[in-house]
Amino acid sequence: MSVLINSKTRLVVQGITGKSGSFHARGCRDYGTNVVAGVTPARGGEMFDDTIPVFDTVIEARQATGANATMIFVPPEFAADSIAEAADAGIELIVCITEGIPVLDMMRTKALISSSKSILIGPNCPGIITPGECKIGIMPGYIHKPGNVGVVSRSGTLTYEAVWQLSCRGLGQSTCIGIGGDPIHGMTHTDALKLFNEDTATEAVIMIGEIGGSEEEEAAAYIAEHFKKPIAAFIAGATAPPGRRMGHAGAIVSGGKGTAEGKIAALQKAGVAVAKTPAEMADVLIEKMKSCGIKIP
Quote the pLDDT of residue 251: 47
C-beta of residue 145 within 8 angstroms of C-beta of residue 131: yes
Instruction: Pinpoint the alpha helices (H) of 18-117.
Output: 19-31, 58-65, 76-88, 103-114
Q: Indicate the pLDDT class of residue 118, thresholds 50, 70 and 90.
A: very high
Q: Indicate the pLDDT class of residue 295, thresholds 50, 70 and 90.
A: confident
Of 24-38, 156-170, 236-250, give the lowest mean pLDDT range.
Answer: 236-250
Comparison of pLDDT for 260 and 39, the residue scoring more = 39
In the predicted model, what is the mean pLDDT of residues 95-105? 96
Tell me which of 144, 185, 189, 248 is the catalytic residue: 248
Comparison of pLDDT for 237 and 181, the residue scoring more = 181
CATH fold match for the domains 10-121 and 139-291: yes
In the predicted model, what is the mean pLDDT of residues 187-216? 95
User: Is 243's pLDDT higher than 70?
Assistant: no
C-beta of residue 73 within 8 angstroms of C-beta of residue 13: yes
Q: Please confirm, yes or no, whether 144 is among the known catalytic residues.
A: no
Q: Indicate the pLDDT class of residue 142, thresholds 50, 70 and 90.
A: very high
Topology at the third CATH level for domain 10-121: Rossmann fold (3.40.50)
The predicted-structure confidence for 4-18, as pLDDT tens digits, reads as follows 999 999 999 999 999
In the predicted model, what is the mean pLDDT of residues 58-82? 98
Q: Tell which CATH architecture fits domain 139-291.
A: 3-Layer(aba) Sandwich (3.40)
Helix, coil or strand: residue 188: coil
**Mean pLDDT value across the chain:** 93
How far lies 191's CA from each of 155, 194, 262, in Å? Answer: 16, 5, 21
> Taking the domains of the chain in order of start, what are their residue ranges?
10-121, 139-291
In the predicted model, what is the mean pLDDT of residues 71-94? 98
User: Is 1's pLDDT higher than 80?
Assistant: no
Instruction: Pinpoint the alpha helices (H) of 173-280.
Output: 189-198, 215-226, 260-269
Instruction: Pinpoint the alpha helices (H) of the chain.
Output: 19-31, 58-65, 76-88, 103-114, 156-168, 189-198, 215-226, 260-269, 281-291
